[in-house]
Amino acid sequence: MPSIRDRVKQLVPTQVTNRVKESLVDYGVRTSDRRPLPDFLIIGTKRGGTTSLWNYLIQHPLVPRLFPAWNTKASHYFEENWRRGEPWYRSHFPTQRQREALASRHGGPVRVGEAAPLYMFHPLAAQRVAALMPSVRLIVLLRDPVERAYSHWKERRTHGIEPLDFADALAAEDERTAGERERLVAEPEHHSERYDWYTYRARGRYLEHLEPWLARFDPEQFLFLPSENLYRDARATYRRTLDFLGLPHHDLPEFKVYNDRRSAPLDPGVREELTAYYQPHNDALRRRLDLDLDWPDRAA
């Protein structure tokens, strides 16, 4: 049986829905001077559990959703929507009065944020965030890059965007994305779907993309979470995240996995090649962050 929300969608014309959305966005922009910037960002990684962690956090009574309350976890301001400006970005977050009401009702500090996995990977995002929100807290999920790449491809394949099999998509990556990173730097308002969609291998070189963040923010502003820990014990990872954000503990009845994609196992030959490729990158990451990342390449 369709939900009430689905039935409303069927009854209300799309044009009306769009006008309502536009009105709410306009209201958010007009009241942007009353809307503080977020306290935290989940900046990565794509296919690393960011949607699950975000959905756990917004079940906490002191972590409000984005405004308007669409089914979204990110504004994509620091990459895709930079041209829209700061008032537009602020429009996505609750007003100071709403924050104070939540804090009064639930007896604790309010923490507002968003989850945008492309932020870590975008060449200009770190400097943009540092200029606007130098004290923001940054949550980084890091998944075995071999599994992350394969999951990224499965997502693109499921959405009908990726016509190639995984091995061929890896082989075509450099050609498909050639010049896109440089263009993002040269043209600050440019948004590249190819850079987002087809960077299966490149996104797993985590330290390369974290260095601009590490150079601009203090170590205590980061929380690095192995995605495998989230998958094995979501409750413990959730509690660790609440501690990092200074939020009181709030247990959840269940920890549903979001955006999981079942498929055939990764081809052993492709796995072996990718594992060898990432090993030096992973070793450098472990040393730089002093993290115990128990990924298969350690035994290679």
Find the mean pLDDT for residues 243-266.
Answer: 88
Indicate whether 295 pLDDT > 70.
Answer: yes
> What confidence tier does 16 reach under pLDDT thresholds 50, 70, 90?
low
pLDDT at 7 over 60: no
Angle, CA of 142, 145 and 146, to the nearest 5°: 145
Half-sphere exposure of 70 (CA within 13 A, CB side): 14
Average pLDDT taken over every residue of the chain: 92
| 37 contact partners, CB below 8 Å, separation of at least 6 | 89, 90, 93, 132, 133, 136
pLDDT tens string 127-186: 999 999 999 999 999 999 999 999 999 999 999 999 999 999 999 999 999 999 999 999
Please give the CATH architecture assigned to the domain spanning 31-299.
Answer: 3-Layer(aba) Sandwich (3.40)
Residue 90 scores a pLDDT above 70: yes
- The average pLDDT across 43-65 equals 96
CA distance 249 to 237: 12
- Lowest-pLDDT range of 15-19, 45-49, 98-102, 290-294: 15-19
Query: 66-86: per-residue pLDDT in tens?
Result: 987 666 899 999 999 999 999
Q: Report residue 14's pLDDT band, with 50, 70 and 90 as the boundaries.
A: low
CA distance 101 to 173: 49
Which is it for the CA torsion 243, 245, 248, 250, positive or negative?
Answer: negative
Q: How confident is the model at residue 300 (pLDDT cuts 50, 70, 90)?
A: very low
- pLDDT band at 2; cut points 50, 70, 90: low
Residue 34 pLDDT class (50, 70, 90 cuts): very high
Tell which wins on pLDDT, 215 or 25: 215
Q: Are 44 and 117 in contact (CB under 8 A)?
A: yes
